[in-house]
Amino acid sequence: MTGYIIAAIVIMLIVLVLTLFTISKGYAYKHTVDALPEQNEHNGDADNAHF
């Protein structure tokens, strides 16, 4: 019976460590944002004719 309790505690600790590692790695991820495309002020430009 004691072996089962020890095994359960070991499994819980492994899951806890993996969870904390995953959360830490997620917070360390550097997110990037694409720049907005430049828009011309004139809607009738020949450059935008293909849209």
Q: Half-sphere exposure (CA, 13 Å, Cβ side) for 51?
A: 8
Q: Which amino acid is at 29?
A: Y
Residue 1 pLDDT more than 60? yes
Can you read off the two tokens belonging to residue 6? 């020890």
Question: H or E element: which one contains 20?
Answer: helix 2-28
Distance (Å) of CA 49 to CA 8, 11, 38? 67, 63, 15
The helix/strand/coil state of 47 is helix
pLDDT in tens, 18-49: 999 999 999 888 888 888 888 776 655 555 55
Q: Which amino acid is at 20?
A: L
pLDDT for 48 equals 54
